[in-house]
Structure 1
Amino acid sequence: MTPRVRAIGRAELTLLWRNRTAMVNAVLLPVGAVALVAAVNAGDAIERADNATFVTGLLGLILLSVVYYNLVSTYVARREELVLKRLRTGEVTDAEILAGTASPTVVIAVAQVVLCVGVGAALVGLPVPVNVPVLVLGVLAGVVVFVLLAAASATFTHTVEMAQVTTLPVLLLCTVGSGIVVPTQMLPEPIAAVLRFLPLTPAVDLMRLGWLGTTGDGTPADFAGVFGPAAVPAAILAAWAAVGVAAVRRWFRWAPRR
Structure 2
Amino acid sequence: MTAVTRMLALGRAELILLGRNRLALYTALLMPPLMVWAMRSSIGGIDGLDLGEAGMSVDETAMTAGFGFVLLFVVHQNLVSAYVARREELVLKRLRCGEARDPEILAGTALPAVLISVAQCALLAVAGVTWLGVGAPARPDLVSAGLILGIVVCAALAAVTSAWARSVESAQLVTLPLFLVSLMGSGMVVPLELLPGPVASACELLPLSPAVALLRGGWLGGMGAHEAGGHVLAALAWTGVAVFAVNRWFRWEPRR
TM-score, length basis structure 1: 0.88
Among 3, 21, 24, the alignment partner of 1:22 is 24
2-structure distance, mates of 1:61, 1:239: 22
Cross-structure match for 1:66: 74
2-structure distance, mates of 1:33, 1:252: 30
Q: Are 2:36 and 2:62, in contact at CA under 8 Å, matched by a contact in 1?
A: no
Q: Percent identity?
A: 47
Of residues 127-136 and 104-113 in structure 1, the stretch that sits farther from structure 2 once superposed is 127-136
Cross-structure match for 2:235: 237
- List per-residue Cα deviations over 1:137-196 (Å, max 9, x = no partner): 000110000000000001111111111221111110011111222332332211111111
Cross-structure match for 1:217: none
Cross-structure match for 1:43: none
Q: Are 1:138 and 1:203, in contact at CA under 8 Å, matched by a contact in 2?
A: yes
Cα deviation for residue 37 of structure 1 reads 8.8
3-state SS of 2:242 partner: helix
Cα deviation for residue 60 of structure 1 reads 0.6
Structure 1 residues 22 and 65: CA distance shift in structure 2, 3 A? same
Of residues 120-129 and 25-34 in structure 1, the stretch that sits farther from structure 2 once superposed is 25-34
Cross-structure match for 1:170: 178
Cross-structure match for 1:106: 114
Cross-structure match for 1:179: 187
Cα deviation for residue 131 of structure 1 reads 1.2
- List per-residue Cα deviations over 1:218-253 (Å, max 9, x = no partner): xx35xxxx3221011111100000001101111111
Cross-structure match for 1:198: 206
Cα deviation for residue 29 of structure 1 reads 1.5
Amino acid at match of 1:20: R
Cross-structure match for 1:253: 251
1-structure distance, mates of 2:36, 2:124: 6
2-structure distance, mates of 1:179, 1:253: 32
Q: Are 2:110 and 2:155, in contact at CA under 8 Å, matched by a contact in 1?
A: yes
Alpha-carbon RMSD = 2.1
Q: Are 1:34 and 1:116, in contact at CA under 8 Å, matched by a contact in 2?
A: no
Structure 2 counterparts to residues 110-121 of structure 1, below 5 A: 110-121=118-129
Amino acid at match of 1:154: S
Cα deviation for residue 120 of structure 1 reads 1.1
Cα deviation for residue 128 of structure 1 reads 2.5
Whether 2:85 is the aligned partner of 1:87: answer: no
Amino acid at match of 2:197: E
Cα deviation for residue 23 of structure 1 reads 0.7
Q: State the number of aligned residues.
A: 243
Cross-structure match for 1:216: none
Cα deviation for residue 121 of structure 1 reads 0.7
Cα deviation for residue 36 of structure 1 reads 5.9
Cα deviation for residue 10 of structure 1 reads 0.7
2-structure distance, mates of 1:190, 1:135: 27
Among 182, 200, 210, the alignment partner of 2:218 is 210
Cross-structure match for 1:7: 9
Cross-structure match for 1:57: 65
Structure 2 counterparts to residues 143-162 of structure 1, below 5 A: 143-162=151-170
Cα deviation for residue 30 of structure 1 reads 2.4
User: Which residues of structure 1 form unaligned runs of 5+?
Assistant: 41-45, 214-219
2-structure distance, mates of 1:56, 1:183: 11
